[in-house]
Structure 1
Amino acid sequence: MLFSRRHRVSPLRRAREFVWPRSGVRRAGTYLAHRVRRLPGTPYSIAAGLACGAAVSFTPFMGLHFLLGALLALAMRGNIVASAIGTATGNPWTFPLIWSWIYTFGNFLLGASATRHLPAELTLSFVFERPLHVLYPMVVGSVPSAVTAWIVVFAPCYVAIARYRAHRRNRLRKRARPAVARRLDSRAAEGEG
């Protein structure tokens, strides 16, 4: 095959590279940032999409994060692709912290912080046998946490994307002919970025 690998990658190595990219976490993050800035749409739609994806990562509904992020992005006129990227907030490193936080915070909000303790070995059978014991506090704790995550992600992303687009537009205007510069200015006025 023309574009296939020379040596097949084992499923174990593929899983390891998913958790820890071969190129490094920093480079993967930089690549993601470049992809986000180049997404089509207004700075609002991209930032809202990212924020929606990050917000749904603070819910206990693992497996539904992409769908929930897309639905929330649609409701807020956000970019659906950006919402999928924003769900990367929930990953193997952050899920244990997120779930611990929303469970503890939910118990605090319910006034049951001292009365509800999880067993030393939490199993899926325990969760399915006593869903209100585990999932209800997580859902209660996830609502204010998701709203906070949305605000914390939206504001800096909106500013960063708007600045990037303005900088890129100015750089292109300096290199462009006058007719093209006028077209760039008219696009900026329409909000296309």
Structure 2
Amino acid sequence: MVFKRRDRKPTLRALWEFFWPRGGWGRAARYVKHRLRRLPDPPEKIARGIWAGVFTTFTPFYTLHFLVAAFLAFIMRGNILAALLGTFFGNPLTYVPIAVISLQTGYFLLGHEFSPHIERTLTGKFVDAGEDLTRNFWAWVKGQPPDWHGLEVFWDDVFYPYMIGGIIPGIVAATAAYLVAEPLIRAYQARRKGALKKRLEAIRAKAAAKKAAAAEEAREKAD
């Protein structure tokens, strides 16, 4: 194939770039900021989209964040692309503190004591839930009875507390992002409109001068 890589990217390099993208997270953040600033919608609509994207990162719906953010932005009449870009608030560098804050808040609200080592680690519970889904699918195919123990533990110890606990910190973080983004986007759009207006005026002045010079030249020839 014409566009296929000739040298396949090594697995370790691909894994490293997932946690630390080429150019660093600073460059990735600048790209997101640049894209947000150039969106054509009003600042309030873009900021509502950002709110939806940031809030979504505090939900346990991993692999579905884009869909959840787009749905929230649609309900809030926010910019959907801004919502998708806002989900980059959740990344390999922030997922751990987001998860810990959400789980601790959830356990507190539910009146339980937070312990990431109940029966197994959090990572182990994610693995158990995935294995339950795979194993029970084949059990259903073979007509065998299902066993949902791993998924039940995952629901009780991880998913439900995460879902409840992520609401408050999600609202706080998303609202802070909104309050920061809205005036910045407004100022950028005003400055950009001013620059475009000056450029248009310069083009018009240049065209008028060129037209006047042509008219003057025509009068001189007529004389």
Normalising to structure 1: TM-score of the pair?
A: 0.81
Contact 1:52 1:69 in 2 (8 A): yes
Aligned to 2:7, what secondary structure does the other structure show?
coil
Number of residue pairs matched by the alignment: 179
Which residue of 160, 181, 185 corresponds with 1:161?
Answer: 185
Contact 1:107 1:116 in 2 (8 A): no
Runs (5+) with no aligned partner, structure 2 = 130-149, 205-223
Written as runs of structure 1 = structure 2, the 5 A alignment for 1:7-156 is 7-10=6-9, 12=11, 13-113=13-113, 118-119=118-119, 121-122=121-122, 123=124, 124=126, 125=128, 128-130=151-153, 131-156=155-180
Give the stretch that moved more between structures: 130-139 or 99-108.
130-139
Contact 1:107 1:141 in 2 (8 A): yes
Letter in 2 for 1:38: R
Residues 119, 85 of structure 1: alpha-carbon distance in 2 compared, 3 angstrom cutoff: same
Letter in 2 for 1:138: Y
Normalising to structure 2: TM-score of the pair?
A: 0.71
Letter in 1 for 2:7: R
CA distance in 2 between partners of 1:133 and 1:59 (Å): 15
CA distance in 2 between partners of 1:56 and 1:31 (Å): 20
* Aligned-pair Cα RMSD in Å: 2.5
* 1:9 CA drift (Å): 4.3
* 1:52 CA drift (Å): 0.5
* 1:118 CA drift (Å): 2.8
Which one has the bigger helix percentage?
2
Percent identity among equivalent residues? Answer: 38
Moved over 6 A (4+): none
